[in-house]
Amino acid sequence: MMGDTCHLDVCSSYLKQELLKSIVPALENIPDWNYFGCKRQAVLMSFAWNFGAKFYEDSEYEEITKILFEGFQYPEKYQEIPAILNLYIKDKDVILPGLVNRRKIEGIMWNQESDGQMTFISRKDTDLKKAPISSRFLSTAGKVECKQGATIKVTRVEEIPGENYAWVRFEGSGDRWAIYMPDWREKSSRNSQEEDGINWLDFACPVGKYLTAGEILQYDARRVPEVGSEIEKTLINTCREYDKIRDAWGEPLGVTSFYRPEPINRECGGSEKSHHVLGTAMDIYTIDGRTLDKFHLWLVQRWDGGYGDYRSKGFIHIDVRNGQGFKSQPGGKPKFLWGF
C-alpha cells in the first residue's frame, strides 16, 4: 500500500524471486547460459530487465542474439558484447543517459569474466586428443601430433576433475580438444603483477613465489575471487604451502587443479565435499613425470593434512584441512590418506 516501507532484504528477496520466475527461464535458451558465471548471467538479466526476457532470438535484438549464438562455438566472439550492448541506449531514437550508464556498467562486468586469448607452448612432443585418454587408444583421426615448442592459441580451458587433462577451444576454429596439461605451459602476453596487489584477471600474475593466477584458477575467469575476501586470503595461504614444498623439493612442479568454486565444481563433475571448493586443496605433479614416485615418497612423510595418492592419474592431491600443511622434516604422515 502507498506509504508502506519495504526493507532492503525484503526487496532483494522479491527481486530474486521475480528474476527466477520471469526472466531466467527465457535466458536459459542462450546456448552458453549454464556455462556463464554469475557476472555474465547478471549482465544478461540486467539487459532483459530493460528489454524483456525474450530478447534472445527476437529480430529486434539481432546483433546481441548473433554474438550470443556464435560465442557458444567461438568464445572469442564474446569480446564483442560490451560494444554490442552500447547499441541499446535509446528510447524512440532518443539517447537516454540512464541507459548509457547502465550499458557501460554491464560492459565492465561482462569483461570481468573474460578469459582472453591464451597461448600454450608444448614442453615436449605430445598430442592434441579428441578424448582425454592415452594416445595409444586413439585412431589417427583422433589425435594430432605436436612437437616440442609447438604453440596453440586457446580461448577457453575447461578443467576435467580427477584428471591431468583439460578441454581447450582453439581461437578461430572453435574446435575442442583435450590436452595433457603437464605437457604444456601458458605463455601470457598480459601484464605482470601490479604494485597494489594480485590482478586475478591476468593469468600470468604471480601469486606467491612460484604459482600464477592462471594455475590457481585453471585459466577460468569465472573463478576470480573478490579482492580482500576471505576466499582470496585462503588461496594465498594455500599458495604459501605450495611455496614451502617447491622450495624444499628444489625442482619444478605443476598444478592441475586448485580453486574450483561452486557451481563450477558441480558442473564439471567434482565431488560435493571437495576441498577445492574451499580453496584449500591442490593437485600437483612433477614436470618430469618419471620422478612422481620419488616425489610421492618424499612428500608423504612431510605432509600432515589430507593426502590423495593419484599417481595412476599423474598427480598427488593435498589439502590443508584443519590447518595442517607442510613439515620440513620427514618422519610424519598425513592425517587423512587415501589412494586411487
- The 10s digit of each residue's pLDDT in 150-193 is 999 999 999 998 889 999 999 988 889 999 999 999 986 445 44
Which residue, of 90, 111, 132, is where some domain finishes? 111
Which residue, of 144, 171, 187, is where some domain finishes? 187
Task: Tell me the CA distances in angstroms from 183 to 137, 147, 254, 305, 329, one per residue in order.
Answer: 18, 11, 10, 28, 31
Q: What is the pLDDT of residue 161?
A: 85
- Residue 289 lies in domain: 189-340
**Do residue 229 and residue 83 come from a single domain?**
no
**Do residue 82 and residue 54 come from a single domain?**
yes
**Do residue 123 and residue 166 come from a single domain?**
yes
Of residues 183, 259, 187, 255, the one with CA closest to residue 222? 259
**CATH number of the domain that residue 132 is part of:** 2.30.30.40
Neighbour-count burial for 27-51, b at 16+ CB within 10 Å, e otherwise: beebeebebbbebbbbbbbbbbeee
**Bridge partners of 69?**
none
Q: What is the mean pLDDT of residues 131-136?
A: 94
Which residue, of 96, 111, 126, is where some domain finishes? 111
pLDDT above 70 covers a percentage of the chain that reads 96
DSSP string, 193-205: -BTTB--TT-TT-
**Do residue 214 and residue 334 come from a single domain?**
yes
**Do residue 58 and residue 79 come from a single domain?**
yes
Number of domains in the chain: 3
The answer on pLDDT for 50 being more than 90 is: yes
Q: What is the pLDDT of residue 188?
A: 62
**Do residue 38 and residue 176 come from a single domain?**
no
Q: What is the mean pLDDT of residues 98-106?
A: 97
| DSSP reduced 3-state for 284 | strand
**Do residue 237 and residue 321 come from a single domain?**
yes
Does any domain span residue 3?
A: no
Q: What is the pLDDT of residue 215?
A: 95
**CATH number of the domain that residue 212 is part of:** 3.30.1380.10
pLDDT in tens, 237-282: 999 999 999 999 999 999 999 999 999 998 888 888 999 999 999 9
- Prediction pTM value: 0.88
**Do residue 12 and residue 99 come from a single domain?**
yes
